[in-house]
């Protein structure tokens, strides 16, 4: 596709439920990043993939959060036993090779846990 | 914790006026990125600066990185309603170029 695609654009879920957020990066981009943005704040790093492997997952807040990228393209961010504090905008970005090249962001998934 | 400070946090200017947004770090920046975000949407890449003293321009927006590579400014000339939005600076602070630390953002409003 022309840009980074994230689905769904909005997700409302009940506390305790499991959710999956999908990111489809720009074709050919080997690096993929997940960020989380709370209202009125800048994005915070969650996890970075180079190819299929998670090169850096130090930003994941706890073991309820997990992300995969099995074929080195589409990635899924999975959140178990959601809590109200997980409510935020989840942003995905991709770049070519990673490193000092600009990252292109998707439109984000707004997650609301009620 | 935030390692980048943006100022001001919000800015209201009259259409046609010039404005400047600043981004400051206590650490050396290895790459400085400026993004724009419409409320509730994703980030749009504006410019990337890497070298001390570097300056880049695109249309009416100019970004600079100081010689010490600890401060960047974004300057908009003759502002237009289309410039309204949230401006975010993001930087590689040496933790790995793939992990950006962002400032809290500057909300820009343009009054007609």
DSSP state string for A19-61: EEEEEE--TT--EEEEEEE-TTS--EEEEEEETTEEEE-TT--
CATH of residue A49: 2.60.40.10
Domain count, chain A: 1
Helix (H) or strand (E) holding B86: strand B85-92
Residue A20 near residue A85 (C-beta atoms within 8 A):
no
| Domain residue limits at A31 | 5-98+107-113
Domains located in chain B, CATH noted: 4-111 (2.60.40.10)
Indicate whether A54 pLDDT > 90.
no
Residue A15: name the closest of A91, A89, A86, A90 by CA.
A86
pLDDT in the model for residue B18: 98
A-chain residues near B98 (CB < 8 A):
31, 33, 48, 50, 55-56, 95, 98-99
Considering only residues A95 and B85, tell me which one the structure prediction assigns the higher pLDDT.
B85
B39 touches chain A (CB under 8 A): no
In this complex, the residue of A41, A44, A48 whose CB is nearest that of residue B98 is A48
- Position A53 scores a pLDDT of 85
Which pLDDT score, from 0 to 100, does residue B99 have? 78
**What mean pLDDT is predicted for residues A45-68?**
92
Give pLDDT < 50 ranges for chain B: none
């Amino acid at each position: 596709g022309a840009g980074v695609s994230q689905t769904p654009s909005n997700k409302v879920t009940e506390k305790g439920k499991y959710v999956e957020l999908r990111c489809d990066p720009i074709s050919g981009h080997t690096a993929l990043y997940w960020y989380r943005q709370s209202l009125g704040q800048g994005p915070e790093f969650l996890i970075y993939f180079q190819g299929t492997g998670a090169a850096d997952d130090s930003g994941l807040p706890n073991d309820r959060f997990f992300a995969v990228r099995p074929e080195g393209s589409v990635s899924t961010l999975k959140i178990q036993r959601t809590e109200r504090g997980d409510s935020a905008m989840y942003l995905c970005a991709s770049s070519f090779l990673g490193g000092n090249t600009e990252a292109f962001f998707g439109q984000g998934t707004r997650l609301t846990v009620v | 914790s935030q390692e980048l400070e943006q100022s001001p946090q919000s800015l209201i200017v009259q259409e046609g006026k010039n404005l400047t947004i600043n981004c400051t770090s206590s650490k050396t920046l290895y790459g400085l990125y400026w993004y724009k975000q419409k409320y509730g949407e994703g980030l749009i890449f504006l410019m990337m600066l890497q070298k001390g003293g570097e300056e880049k321009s695109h249309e009416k927006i100019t970004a600079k990185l100081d010689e010490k590579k600890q401060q960047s400014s974004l300057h908009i000339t003759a502002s237009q309603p289309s410039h309204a939005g949230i401006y975010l600076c993001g930087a590689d602070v040496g933790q790995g170029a793939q992990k950006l630390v962002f400032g809290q953002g500057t909300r820009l409003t343009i009054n007609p």
